[in-house]
Amino acid sequence: MTAPALVLLAQGSIQPEQTRHLHAIRLQMQQARPELDVALAFLDQGSPSSAAVVSSLVARGVREVVFVPMDLTHAVEPTDEATLVVEQVKTAHPGVAITMSRPVGPATDLLNVLDVRLREALRQSHTVELDGLVLSAPTAGDTRGNALLARRARQWSAHHRLPCVVAVNDGSGASVSQAVSTLRSQGRRHIAVGSFYIGADESFQRQRELALHAGVEAVSEPMADHEFILDLVMARYVFAAMELLDETVDRAAAPRGVTADTNVAPVTQISHAV
């Protein structure tokens, strides 16, 4: 039995160069796991769409697909947009087993990636002193994701002995500018922004512009194709693929005329410690 195809599900962009990080992730995962079909699909702007990707996979004989949401702020539940898109694809391909993993989420390992990208930015800007950080994310997440993101800020603060304030770029919480103002009101003058982003999409560009306008020392680049991101994506895929296999086996084992028990929480509703 061949493994299910892996589809990275991400926010798109009207600027192709702003999705280069996502394409790099897909390429590296394909090179690392040549036995898998690894594809990239976009939720809104950009090409290809999820429908086009799955249609192409099905035309090549693929009958199992796992979507992995490339989302760092949702820990358990994918966004409504992602859920709707995957449900539409399922409806269009009733003979194909399709599932969605939990999002990548704000895992602890990402703090290591954040530090790598932040050091690079501080070195490029010739910053030698730092007394505050804004942890900038594209959107607020689900309940669990928001709690974990706040915990990551506290962990970074405790490790570096510097204050860290969370900002989001979707208007649901403090903006980058407001977070910088909060740190300045505490007497902090040498402030940097750590970007909790996978790719340099329009949201990333806006938060960087706001941060630089607010006078920060440096803004880190997105986490992109760091090995920890690749490992997290593969972990989400493997767990969802096993769930998909279990469901397939249950359906196959059910006696004729008897429906297999489906009173099991789908993978997107199972919470795990991160």
Q: Which of 219, 238, 254 is the last residue of a domain?
A: 219
State mean pLDDT over 40-55.
91
* Residue bearing the bigger pLDDT, 45 or 60: 60
pLDDT at 90 over 60: yes
pLDDT at residue number 265: 35
Based on the domain organization, do 82 and 138 belong to the same domain?
A: no
Indicate whether 24 pLDDT > 80.
yes
Residues 12 and 95 in one domain: yes
Q: Kindly report, residue by residue over 166-214, the tens digit of the pLDDT.
A: 999 999 999 999 999 999 999 999 999 999 999 999 999 999 999 999 9
State whether 42 and 177 are in the same domain: no
- Position 74 scores a pLDDT of 97
Domain for residue 121, yes or no? yes
* pLDDT score for 260: 39
181 in a structural domain: yes
Helix H, strand E, coil C: the string for the chain is: CCCCEEEEEECCCCCHHHHHHHHHHHHHHHHHCCCCCEEEEECCCCCCEHHHHHHHHHHCCCCEEEEEECCCCCCCCCCHHHHHHHHHHHHHCCCCEEEECCCCCCCCCHHHHHHHHHHHHHHHCCCCCCCEEEEEECCCCCHHHHHHHHHHHHHHHHHHCCCEEEEECCCCCCCHHHHHHHHHHCCCCCEEEEECCCCCCHHHHHHHHHHHHCCCCEECCCCCCCHHHHHHHHHHHHHHHHHHHHHHHHHHHCCCCCCCCCCCCCHHHCCCCC
pTM above 0.85, yes or no: yes
| Shared-domain flag, residues 123 and 210 | yes
Q: Are residues 72 and 22 in the same domain?
A: yes
For residue range 106-120, list pLDDT tens digits in order. Answer: 999 999 999 999 999
Residue 255 and residue 191 in one domain: no
| pLDDT score at 250 | 56
| CATH number reported for the structural domain that contains residue 164 in this entry | 3.40.50.1400
More confident residue, 18 or 162: 162
Q: Is residue 48 domain-shared with residue 114, that is, in the same domain?
A: no
42 lies in the same domain as 80: yes
Containing structural domain, residue 40: 5-105+226-269
Domain match, 128 and 194 both: yes
Is residue 101 assigned to a domain?
yes
Total count of domains within the chain = 2
- Please check whether residues 193 and 127 belong to one and the same domain: yes
- Domain boundary at 179, 202, 219, which? 219
Q: Tell whether 212 and 242 lie within a shared domain.
A: no
Assigned domain for 274 exists: no
Looking at the fold, whether 50 and 184 belong to one and the same domain comes out as: no
Q: At 233, is the pLDDT very low, low, confident or very high (cuts 50, 70, 90)?
A: very high
Confidence check: pLDDT of 269 > 70: no
Q: What's the pLDDT tens digit per position in 127-167? A: 999 999 999 999 999 999 999 999 999 999 999 999 999 99
| Predicted pLDDT of residue 170 | 92
